[in-house]
Amino acid sequence: MATLKLGVLGSGAGSNMQSIVDAIAAGTLDAEIRLVLADVADAKILDRARRHGIACQYLDCAPFRTKLEGAAEDRCIELLKMAGVDTVVLAGFMRIVKPKLLAAFPNRVVNIHPALLPAFPGVHSWAQALDYGCKVAGVTVHFVDAGTDSGPIIVQKAVPVMEDDTPESLHARIQVQEHLAFPEALRIIAVGAYRIEGRRVRIDRDRLQPKA
Ligand code: GRF
């Protein structure tokens, strides 16, 4: 049985979920995706999950627009627990998760954010970085805490901002790194090669080396 039993929450294309699927298939991540939930009924992430034979379903989060709370939060926790999930992956999930979900999976909810946090939390962070005039942008994978994009950082990767960048071209460059960063962060968790000390995630690089 795989070490990590993942539940993936998403709202969009699911390219980050795909990077996790690919890492598992390549044998570089000891994990299985037990369940994919999307808060958008026709989200492409659900099509992708179906194509890979992964259990998935739409999670109606009404009446809330920007958070996962109330009956939907309860249902989400119930579905994840029933599927045997031990680690929750927010892969382009455009809602704020609340303390109840975090308490159900303590230190086991992981988010990817397309910026070098703590710069530019929130939405359209790549466009914010461009507007600000940053010369470097990037991606952060972090444990989720009660704040917005504020939990302890597991992996960050930087990309240059080019003179002729548009928000779309910069986001595309960041996404290439997202697809490396997410499997890398999950590998660290799967191997248990870390400990959380306050805000710092201490990583034991030796334990990440493949055994001879
Ligand atoms: C990614 O840029 C992610 O960082 C952000 O939403 C986007 C989701 O992309 N939070 P995808 O659905 O994984 O393709």
Instruction: Give the number of domains in the chain.
Output: 2
CB-ligand 1 contact for 114 (6 Å cutoff): yes
On whether both 92 and 116 belong to a single domain, the answer is no
On whether both 125 and 88 belong to a single domain, the answer is no
Of 41, 73, 106, at which residue does a domain stop? 106
On whether both 128 and 195 belong to a single domain, the answer is yes
On whether both 26 and 92 belong to a single domain, the answer is yes
| Domain carrying residue 156 | 112-212
Q: For 64-106, what is each residue's pLDDT tens digit?
A: 999 999 999 999 999 999 999 999 999 999 999 999 999 999 9
> Out of 52, 113, 142, 179, which one is annotated catalytic?
113
**Is 171 an active-site residue?**
no
- Which DSSP string corresponds to 140-154? EEEE--SSSS-SPEE
Using the atom order of ligand 1, give the atom closest to the CA of residue 16. Answer: 13
Distance CA 101, CA 103 (A): 5
In terms of Cα–Cα distance, which of 171, 192, 189, 162 is closest to 23? 189
On whether both 87 and 54 belong to a single domain, the answer is yes
Q: Is the pLDDT of residue 1 over 80?
A: no
CB-ligand 1 contact for 112 (6 Å cutoff): yes
> pTM value?
0.96
Nearest CA to ligand 1 atom 6: 92
The pLDDT > 70 percentage for the chain reads 99
